[in-house]
A = this chain, B = another copy of it.
Amino acid sequence: MGLVLADDLLGRGLQRIQREIDAAFDFFLPVPEDSRAPLIEAMRHAAIGGGKRVRPLMLVTVAEMYGASRQSALRAGCAIEAIHCYSLIHDDLPCMDDDELRHGKPTVHLAFDEATAVLAGDSLHALAFELLASHETSTDPFIRSEMIGALAIASGHNGMAGGQMMDMAADTEKLDLRTVTKLQQLKTGALLGAAVELGAILGRVPEEGRGHLRAYARDVGLAFQIADDLLDAEGDEALAGKALRKDEAQGKATFVSLMGVDKAREQAHALSEQAIGHLGQHGKEADLLRSLARFVVERDC
């Protein structure tokens, strides 16, 4: 992956969280000396040493803005990243997107086999909730339970998995912009929203104080997906570490196919600025979130 970042604050933030998340998964996933070893190796293949860690960074930043400990927030960050990683393993399967490359490495079903990939995804899925339910993530069971509820809803049939299903239907039906927007709000937006939500829960932000954070997440999520579509249309495969030009080849309705490249880019930047606008009540402590909103539309991977 080629991350060239003009923004030092974000560059340092991403490097730090990538190191921390890698170390945490390494700690959570020791390889046992029995025939489960390939399963845990496959989980490690997917969870360690790859990925921008945008969701954990969002979660940790919001949590720290409101005084939660980085240690707690990192565990919750691993939980949301475990969900993200499991979804990539399953999305890459031959019966789904049939992808060969992820984060510049062979996908899990190629590095291992399909059955192991299914189980590794399932096991990362369970690990997410194991982490969130642990006393070490928060000593307050109410906080643990609220985070779990939010993450479960965001990742299930009314969230990420539902969005993935709509995306599969998009292969055969021609969708309009409203439907593509709804699809992407579920497929990508729900989990980015959960990152911000879990951070707010850890920071004990009351429901009525979360509106601007949710608005930020919604705009960033949509900007992120438009940027993803642009990347698919125009990006560099070597930098992206995955196959590109898939949407066009499949004749799939995306923001780019519906709006055109220029309009899509304009819209992504407008959403990014709008996201930053929601953070007006915060000072320097939200600078990383502001940089992140710019980064998601400027990234090359």
Residues of A within 8 A of B (CB): 29, 34-36, 38-40, 43, 86-87, 90, 93, 95-96, 113-116, 118-119, 121-123, 125-127, 129-130, 132-134, 141-142, 144-146, 148-149, 151-153, 155-157, 159, 161-162, 164-166, 168-170, 173, 179, 182
A166 vs B35: C-alpha distance when bound (angstroms): 5
**Inter-chain contact B125/A96, CB cutoff 8 Å:** no
Q: Which residues of B have CB within 8 Å of A125? A: 122, 125-126
**Inter-chain contact B95/A113, CB cutoff 8 Å:** yes
Q: Which residues of B have CB within 8 Å of A29? A: 157
Contact residue among B35, B86, B87, B134 (Cβ-Cβ distance under 8 Å from A165): B35
Q: Which residues of B have CB within 8 Å of A165? A: 35-36, 38-39, 116, 119
Q: If the complex has contacts A118-B93, A148-B148, A152-B127, are A35 and B142 also in contact, measured as CB distance less than 8 A?
A: no
Q: Which residues of B have CB within 8 Å of A146? A: 133, 141
A121 vs B29: C-alpha distance when bound (angstroms): 23
Contact residue among B87, B93, B114, B157 (Cβ-Cβ distance under 8 Å from A40): B157
A151 vs B151: C-alpha distance when bound (angstroms): 16
A90 vs B93: C-alpha distance when bound (angstroms): 13
